[in-house]
Amino acid sequence: MNFVGEHILSVSQFERKDIELVFEVADRMEPYANRQRITRVLQGAILSNMFFEASTRTRVSFGCAFNLLGGDVRETTGISSSAIAKGESLRDFARVLSGYSDVIAMRHSEAGSVAEFAGASRSPVINGGDGANEHPSQALLDLYTIKKELAYRNKAIDDLRIAVVGDLKYGRAVHSLLKLLAVFKSVSINLVSPPGLQVPEEISDLLKTYDHSVSFFDKLEEGISAVDILYVTRTQEERFSSQEEADRYRGLFRVNEAIYTQHCEPNTVIMHPLPRDSRTAAQELSEDLDNNPNLAIFRQTDNGILIRMALFALVLDVVDLVDKHSSPVTWNTRRRSRKL
Ligand code: NCD
C-alpha cells in the first residue's frame, strides 16, 4: 500500500509491512502526543470530521491528532445537522465536502456508506466506523496496544493467544481487529459470545484460511483461560431491531476482578475499545478492575492519538517533515500524574 492520497476504508487494504509502517510512524509521534515538542507540519490543512453516529473518543482523537500535527478541524455531527437530512446523496455530499478539506474522517450507521462517500470524494477519506462493518483505525490502535503490552512480557504478535468476548456479530471494532490479526502467524483466537451474537462466518472462515487456531465458546469462564489478551466488547444495542432483543443479551458476560483472578493467567492484558457499558444491568467490564495494572483500556485510548497522527502523516505524505517543522513546547507540560 502506498498510503499517500489513499482512502483508508478497510483493514483488508493492509499487508503486514503496511501495519508495521503505521506502527513505526506512530512511535515517532510520541514527543508530540506527549507535549514534549510541537509540530506545525500540517499548518493550513483542513480535516473534515463527519460523524453521523454517536462518538466521543474516535471523533475527538481524530481531531486532536490533526491539531497536534498543526492542522485545523471542521466538524459536523449528527445527520440532522447536515444536508443529508434534506435528502442529499452521499455522493453529492462528498463532492462538496472534499472541495473544502484535505482529508475527511467519517462515521456512518450504514455498512458500506463510507466507501460510497469515498467513491465521490476528491480528498482521502478515513473510515471512522461504518455500521457493523469495519473500524480500521480502532483495530490499528488495538493491535498497536497489543504489540506494546506484549513487548513488556517479552512476547510478539505472532503466536498471540487472544480471547474476544461479547457481541462479535455487530462489533465492527472486533471485525477489523480479527481481519488484521489474520496476517500475523499462528494466532490462537477464542471467540466468546452468546449464541446469536457469533462472529460473521466470513470472518471466522478468513482466519481459518490463514491457518490460525479458532475456537468458539458460549461460556465466558471457559474461553478466557490461557490467553495473553482478553478483549471485551459492548453489546451493540443500537444495531438491534427491538429493545427486547437488546435486553436479551445485556449483562450476559461480565468480566470483573473475581472472574479475572479465578480464570485468567496472572499477566493477561484486559482491553476494550470503549465505551464500556457500566450501567448496573450491563457491567460488562467492571470498575473493580480499574486498579489492576493489566487493564490497558486507557493506554488504548492514548495510543489512538499516535495511530491517527500516523495515518494523517502517511496519507498526507509528511512523515519525514514532521520533525523539521517542530519546536519545543512553550507551556508548562507537567501533567497530573496518572493513577489508572
Ligand atoms: C467502538 C465503535 O464505535 O465501534 N467505539 C469506539 O470507536 N471506540 C466500540 C463500541 O461502540 O462499542
Which residue in 162, 171, 189 sits closest to 135, CA to CA?
Answer: 171
How far apart, in whole angstroms, are the C-alpha atoms of residue 38 and residue 66? 12
Q: What is the pLDDT of residues 16-65, one digit of tens each?
A: 999 999 999 999 999 999 999 999 999 999 999 999 999 999 999 999 99
Q: Which amino acid makes up residue 134?
A: E
| Cα(325) to centroid(ligand 1), Å | 33
Neighbours of 305 (CB within 10 A): 23
Q: Best mutation site among 234, 250, 271 for ligand 1, i.e. most ligand atoms within 8 A of its Cβ?
A: 234
Q: Which residue in 28, 35, 37, 57 is the catalytic one? A: 57
Task: Please tell me the predicted confidence (pLDDT) of residue 337.
Answer: 52
Phi, psi for 233 (deg, rounded to 5) = -130, 165
Nearest ligand 1 atom, CA 107? 3
Q: What is the pLDDT of residues 178-192, one digit of tens each?
A: 999 999 999 999 999
Categorize the per-residue pLDDT at 336 as very low, low, confident or very high, splitting at 50, 70 and 90. low
**Beta strand residue intervals within the chain, DSSP E:** 37-39, 46-51, 72-77, 103-108, 125-130, 161-165, 188-192, 213-217, 229-232, 269-271, 326-328
Convert 89-140 into a string of H (helix), E (strand) and C (coil).
CHHHHHHHHHHHCCEEEEEECCCCHHHHHHHCCCCCEEEEEECCCECHHHHH
Grid coordinates of 113: 456508506
Whose grid coordinates read 478492575?
289
The whole-number average pLDDT for the span 233-242 is 94
The finding on whether 306 has its CB within 6 A of some atom of ligand 1 is no
**Mean pLDDT over the full length of the chain:** 95
Which residue in 37, 93, 109, 107 sits closest to 69, CA to CA?
Answer: 37
Per-residue pLDDT at 82 exceeds 70: yes
Nearest ligand 1 atom, CA 167? 12
The structure's pTM equals 0.96
Categorize the per-residue pLDDT at 340 as very low, low, confident or very high, splitting at 50, 70 and 90. very low
Q: What is the pLDDT of residues 256-294, one digit of tens each?
A: 999 999 999 999 999 999 999 999 999 999 999 999 999
Per-residue pLDDT at 86 exceeds 90: no
Task: Please tell me the predicted confidence (pLDDT) of residue 78.
Answer: 86
Phi, psi for 110 (deg, rounded to 5) = -95, 130
